[in-house]
Structure formats: C-alpha cells, structure tokens
Amino acid sequence: MTLSDNDVEPTATSRGLRSARELEGHLRWLDTFTPAALGVLATASGIYTYLGVSTLLEATGSMKFFAAIAYSIAVSVGIFVFWSYMMRLLPAMRTASGFLGLTLAMFMGSLAIIAMSSWLNAAALAGGAAVEQHLASTVQDYQRSLERAHFVAVSAQGLERDVARARQSFEDLSEQEQSGNLSGTAGQGAVFRLLNQKADELRALELQIAAQNEPIERAFNEGNGILSRMRTLIVDPGPVDQRSVTFSEESVRLAGVITTLRQLQVAQLVVRAAEDLSASVVLPELDGRTASIRGDQQATIGAFLQALNNRATTLRDAAAEVAAMPQPEESTYTPISSADAVIRYAGNFVPSWAGAIAIDLLPGVLVFILAVTQAAIRSGREGTAVEDTMTVADLRRSMVAFSEIEASMAHKSGNVPKAVESGQEGPTVVKSNQSG
C-alpha cells in the first residue's frame, strides 16, 4: 500500500513540533543559571583585569586601589551587559541582514573587550614571567656585546706579533750593518743608528700593546661576573619589580665594562703608529770617511726607507682590518611593565593569552549555540497550525479568557446572569434579547 503526501506530512510536522518543544524545554532549564554563569565569568575577568591594571598605575595608596577597582568593575559590567544583549537579540534575528549586522557588532565588541580587558588578564596571568623573559633577553644582548667587545680587543692584541716581526727584522738588519754585511762598512754609523731608531719605536709600540693584555682579561672577567649576578636575579624568588631594580644597577656596571673593552682595543693606535713609522723618519748625517762609503750609506738608507714603507703598509693594513671589525651593539636595559612585557613577548606565552581571551569571549560560543538552537526551533514549528502548537495550559488560559470576554459582553448588554451577580462560580450564560 502506498502512503499519500497527506499521510506523511502530519507525521513529519508532528516530529518537528515535538523536537521544537523539547529544545524549548532545554532552553528554559538553561536560562535558570545562564545569567549567573555569565556573571561569574564577568567577575573573574574583572578580578584579573584589576591585577593587570594595578601594575600600570603610577599612583600609590588608596587612589591606586580605587582607580583599579573602578576600572575592573566597569569591565565586568561591560562584559556582562554586552553578552546579555548578544544572547537575547542575535538568536532572535529572523532576517539575514539582522543576523549579519548583530554578528558584526559582536565581533567589534569582542575586539573592544580584548583591548580593554584580555591583555590585562594576560598580564595578570603571565606578567611576572614576561618581565623575567625580558630580563633574560637583555642578559643575552649584553652577553653578545661583551663577547664581541672582547673578541675585537683580543684580535687587536694579535697585532703585537706583527709589530714584533717588524721590530725583529730591523734589529737583524742593524746587526748586519754593525758587522759590515749591509752597507759594506762595519760599525755603528748612520745606517745602524737609523735601523735602531725604528726598532726602538716598534719595541715601544709592542710593549704598549702587551700592557693591554691584563686590563682586557680583567675587564672580561668582571663582565662575566656581572652577567652571572644578572642571571641569578632572573631566577631568584621574590617580587620581580624589586629584582628589576638591582638588575638595572648591574646592567649599568656591565655597560661600563663593555665601554672599557672597546677603549682598550689598540687597532687604531697601531694604524696611527704605522703611518708615523714611515712619515717620521729622521735621516742621520752620513759619516763615511770617503765619498764611496757615503754613497754606499746613502744607497743602503734608500733601500731601508723602501723596506720601511712596505713594513708600515703591511702593519697598517693589518691594523685597519681589525679596526673595521663590527663593534658590539649598544645594549641598554629598559625597565618594562608586566603588561607591556606580555605584549612584547606574546609568542612565548600563547597559553596565557589563550586563557585570558577565552574567559572574555567564551560567551560568544554560547551566543552561536543559542542562534543555532533558535533556528532549529523555528524550523520545527514552521508550517504548523496554531491549534497544533497549543498545550493544555494554553487551552486552559484560552477558556478562561473566553469566559471573561462573555462576562464583559453580558455586562455591556445589561443581561448579567444571576450566578455572576451573586458571585457564584460556574459557566457564564449570555441570554439573547428577544423581540416583542
């Protein structure tokens, strides 16, 4: 046997109606505690907002307390009112334009809540850890600067070997000149004195470079000691604000050590000394007994000056290469509030940010749940007649209303039933006027 559409349609309609009534029953039960739950969420957000905003206010005493309380109460009330509006109005929208408009308003309100509350909640949840992260990042910057300054200074100390080689070569030449193997005339004549002059200049520069070794190592060890104390301050117990003050003092000392290391590197000194090595030559008077000897001395001095220029150029190039090394970046510790630290290092505190935002925007999920449920209810009731949707309670209220209407009509026509005039209960009977 085949069922007609008329046989199937009432069954589908009744199922949709029963589903709609079931969903309405669930919503009535959920409405009994939803406002209280929303109030708890708003209050919790206000408490964390109070903790976060307290770190930003510069005032002290009662003024700071009342200012933070006022702000947190305003946030709690704003969150409660905003989501109450959304829970009531958005699910009730029947048109696409109304639904999209309120959805846009909800997103804008959510952004406002994040701006005025969520980041302060994150500061309360992870503010101390974020400040410690800032301290750790600062220590790493200072360590890189210290190591870079030490590396450049030590590299400049390596020029001591170049200076020593140049000095040794001039000393060897002076010995050859003294024995007569250079200019052909033995003794300590003009060429010998010129060679010793430049050897003495290089020896003085060599000693000056060597004297920097101990100060460089002492400054580097002092900087490492300061870094060790700064790392200890990061993990020490106690309020991070107090530790930040001590950390700032240590950072100033460390900056001074790094500056000292930069001043101790001798690359520029060697560059200037190499330039002076060939530019400041005092030629001695030729003291050969004969013109031939003086000619040999002059030729030897010419060859020496050429070798001196080559040595000076090599030494200057080596020193310039060290001087051109990248210098350590300027590191400065800047104190930061917990709220700013949470924003700067947000990537390191994703769980805290997620919790701070969720406590404010969780009601948005409830709004969409209500919207879907209300749409399902409307879909279940669609196409049903009024008499199909009436309950026994609705029928009872309709009968009472009908009785009241009959009584009112009877009063207006002047035919009041005796039962009504005597106050007796019972059905109301309205008699019609008969003509004649």
Is residue 12, in this structure, part of any structural domain at all? yes
Is residue 47, in this structure, part of any structural domain at all? yes
User: d(Cα 157, Cα 141) in Å, to the nearest integer?
Assistant: 24
Is residue 28, in this structure, part of any structural domain at all? yes
Written as one string, the DSSP assignment of 256-319 is HHHHHHHHH--HHHHHHHHHHHHHS--PPPP--SSHHHHHHHHHHHHHHHHHHHHHHHHHHHHH
pLDDT of residue 275: 77
Q: Are residues 255 and 157 in the same domain?
A: yes
Other CB atoms closer than 10 Å to residue 88's CB: what's the count? 11
SS3 199: helix
What is the domain extent for residue 257? Answer: 134-337
Q: Are residues 161 and 246 in the same domain?
A: yes
Residue 435 Ramachandran class (φ > 0 left, ψ -120 to 50 alpha, else beta)? beta
- Phi (first) and psi of residue 240, to 5 degrees: -70, -25
Q: Are residues 365 and 302 in the same domain?
A: no
Q: Are residues 356 and 326 in the same domain?
A: no
Q: Are residues 276 and 407 in the same domain?
A: no
Q: Are residues 320 and 409 in the same domain?
A: no
Is residue 431, in this structure, part of any structural domain at all? no
Contact of 223 with 217, CB cutoff 8 Å:
no
Other CB atoms closer than 10 Å to residue 48's CB: what's the count? 23
Give the Å distances, CA to CA, from 377 to 102, 273, 343, 364. Answer: 20, 93, 44, 20
Q: Are residues 410 and 323 in the same domain?
A: no
How many domains is the chain partitioned into structurally? Answer: 3
SS3 414: coil
pLDDT of residue 223: 92
Question: What is the pTM for the complete model shown?
Answer: 0.67
Residue environment code for 143-162, b if the CB has 16+ CB neighbours within 10 A, otherwise e: bebbbbbbbbbbebbebbeb
Is residue 85, in this structure, part of any structural domain at all? yes
- Mean pLDDT per block of 10 residues along the chain (436 residues) reads 47 67 81 90 91 79 85 93 91 87 92 89 86 90 91 87 80 68 57 74 85 91 93 87 89 91 86 73 54 62 69 82 83 83 86 88 90 81 57 72 80 58 44 39
pLDDT of residue 279: 59
| 29 Cβ neighbours under 8 A, 6+ residues apart | none
Contact of 349 with 134, CB cutoff 8 Å:
no
Q: Are residues 78 and 16 in the same domain?
A: yes
pLDDT of residue 206: 85
Is residue 428, in this structure, part of any structural domain at all? no
Q: Are residues 316 and 364 in the same domain?
A: no
Q: Are residues 272 and 362 in the same domain?
A: no
